[in-house]
Amino acid sequence: MVSDSRITQVIRRNLYISLTAAVLVIIVIYLMEVDALATTQSLILALYAIDCWLFLLAFLGIGMRSLNFTNGLHRYANDAVLPVYILHHMIIIVIGFYVIQWDIPVVAKYFFVVFTVFLSSLVIYEVVRRISVTRFLFGIKVRKLQT
C-alpha cells in the first residue's frame, strides 16, 4: 500500500478526515454497545473493522508527516528492526517458559517478560551487528564509512 506514491499522497492529504472518521465511528460503536442505538452484533463487528482501517490510515498519515527525518537513533533502529524481530520470538519462548512457573501475579510476569525480552533482544543485536557473518545472516546492511 505504501509503495505507491499516489496512495501515500492520499493518506497524507486525508489524515484529519481519517482521524475524525475513526473517532466518530468509535463513538457510534460505543453507543451501540451500551444500547443507546439498537443494532446487531454483525454490524458492530463490521464497524470495528472499518474503525481499525481508519485508525491505521490516520496513524500512517501522522507517521508520514512527522517522522520524515533521520538521525542516529533512527538509523540504529532501522538497522535493528529485522534482527530484533527475528530474535524476540525465540527469546519470548525461552524466558516465558521459566517465568510462567513463578508464583507472582500475572501482571508482574508480563512486565518482566516484556522488559527482559526487549533488553535481551537489543544486547544480542549488539553482538550480531559487530560480526560480519552474523550481520549477513540477519540481513543487516553493511554501511560504508564516510570520510
Mean pLDDT of 134-139: 83
User: Which pLDDT tens digit goes with each residue over 43-66?
Assistant: 889 999 999 999 999 999 998 888
Say which residue, 50 or 34, is predicted with more confidence: 50
Q: What pLDDT shows up at residue 75?
A: 83
Contact 53, 1 (CB under 8 A): no
Ordered by start, the domain boundaries in the chain are: 5-66, 72-137
User: Which pLDDT tens digit goes with each residue over 96-125?
Assistant: 999 999 999 999 999 999 999 999 999 999
Q: Residue 146: is its pLDDT beyond 60?
A: no
Q: Residue 145: is its pLDDT beyond 60?
A: no
In 10 A of CB 18, how many CB atoms?
21
User: Which pLDDT tens digit goes with each residue over 10-27?
Assistant: 999 999 999 999 999 999
Cell for 21? 472518521
H-run or E-run covering 78: helix 72-99
Contact 58, 10 (CB under 8 A): no
For residues 85 and 10, give the distance between their C-alpha atoms in angstroms, rounded to a whole number: 30
Q: What pLDDT shows up at residue 136?
A: 84
